[in-house]
Amino acid sequence: MYLPHLFSPLKIGACQLAHRVVMAPLTRMRAARPSLAPRPLNADYYAQRATSGGLIIAEASPVMATGFGNPGVPGIWSEQQVEGWRKVVDAVHAKGGIIFLQLWHVGRVSHSSFQPGGALPVAPSAIAISSEFKAMTADGKVVPYETPRALETDEIFGIVAAFKQAATNALAAGFDGVEIHGANGYLIEQFLQSHSNQRTDRYGGSIENRARLLLEVTQAAIAIFGANRVGVRLSPYGIANGSGEADPMPLYTQVVSALDPLALAYLHLIEPRSSGAGRAEVNWQNVPSAMLLFRPVWTGVLIAAGGFSGEAAEAAVAQGHADAVAFGRIFISNPDLPRRLRHGFPLTPYNRATFYGGEDAGYTDYPVYDGLAPA
């Protein structure tokens, strides 16, 4: 397979990539319990997928104890978690890889069983996720989402401070940068979108107000890492976790336009055709392309993600629609994915049943291709 554009160098903020095949952030729920610190198994997993000069965006990691809603996801608020992540980062760096950490707060996409003291999850407004979506409790039951508690205005300052401390912790762990998770229906996107944000203070109402949290969190991360080591992930037209703006273009055009002058390392856009792909096989038809819509607005490095094949990724880069492409599910089952794409080797299919939780099965036991072509 000849993919010259996908396998050409790229400067991404302060980092020099050898190729443009990025590992997308992937929730796997295999952190140690109860500490939620990464463990040696996690270091092995990431090291398997590291390539010299390749970018890995490590899985979404809650910035505070109230910010998670899944069992076994690694955090980034405690010293024990920092120590666990340091071993992951060291393992990736030993392979010549580059690794960012995705900073996360799930907001209403949680359940009281995960919250300290059994409190309700927090959100911009006291609006529950619709009944077509279901929550998972800490003991594995599937139940309707609870109506969250609306954050008080002064509490939002604490959310921003938690993201800043998480960035500080990520720097201490040795990460090359951080990505702000503003996608997939989680807290920052809940603030962005009008159906989940009905606030009347400075964080609600106008698009400028609804985007305030994202911009404050991004600036907080910049204060720690510098703008050229911070990325932002968005999902225009996405429908994951009850998200969805009636008319996304005005919102996301203004948001991307506000981020553009910050000179970030990159903007990471999820294609609508793959919204919610972590939970089921989806490929939405007749939906717009995020990279095509927002490339004219964004002047920096653009990473596209969502259902790309090697050939489609090559075309996106060759045509200037994206500068790099992030791969998720097929990176799970193909630890040597860049090598396979470059040489046209066959891909190992993934097993969805082993995506979340467990040990090495479906995690570190996928084989590399045993062909004779060079790495």
- pTM for this structure? 0.95
Torsion of CA 375, 21, 68, 105, to 10 degrees: 150
Strands 149-150, 142-144: pairing kind: unpaired
Strands 302-305, 266-270: pairing kind: parallel
Tracing tokens 């972590």 back to the chain, one arrives at 278
Ranges of residues in the chain with a pLDDT under 50 are: 275-283, 375
- For residue 266, indicate whether it is catalytic: no
1 token code pair: 């397979």
Give the number of other CB atoms < 10 A from CB of residue 174. 17
Tracing tokens 């509490």 back to the chain, one arrives at 155
Q: Burial code of 136-157, b = ≥16 C-beta within 10 A, e = fewer?
A: beeeeeeeebbebbbbeeeebe
- DSSP assignment of 163-228 equals HHHHHHHHHHTT-SEEEEE--TTSHHHHHHSTTT----STTSSSHHHHTHHHHHHHHHHHHHH-GG
Radius of gyration of the chain (CA): 19
pLDDT 10s digits, 117-146: 999 999 999 999 998 899 989 998 999 999
Q: How many CA atoms lie within 13 A of 103 on its CB side?
A: 32
Rounded-to-integer distance, Cα 148 and Cα 168, Å: 28
Q: Which of 45, 46, 145, 186 is catalytic?
A: 186
Rounded-to-integer distance, Cα 315 and Cα 101, Å: 28
For domain 10-354, the CATH superfamily is Aldolase class I (3.20.20.70)
Rounded-to-integer distance, Cα 17 and Cα 324, Å: 10
Helices and strands, number each (H, E), in the chain: 11, 14
Q: Is the peptide bond preceding residue 62 cis, with omega within 30 degrees of 0?
A: no
Rounded-to-integer distance, Cα 32 and Cα 65, Å: 15
Q: Please list, in sequence order, all residues whose beta carbon lies within 8 angstroms of the beta carbon of residue 313, skipping any fewer than 6 positions away.
A: 3, 6, 20, 21, 322, 325, 327, 341
Task: Decide: 112 and 97 in contact? Cβ < 8 Å.
Answer: no
Distance from the first to the final alpha carbon of the chain: 14
pLDDT 10s digits, 97-110: 999 999 999 999 99
> Domain ranges in the chain?
10-354
Rounded-to-integer distance, Cα 271 and Cα 285, Å: 12
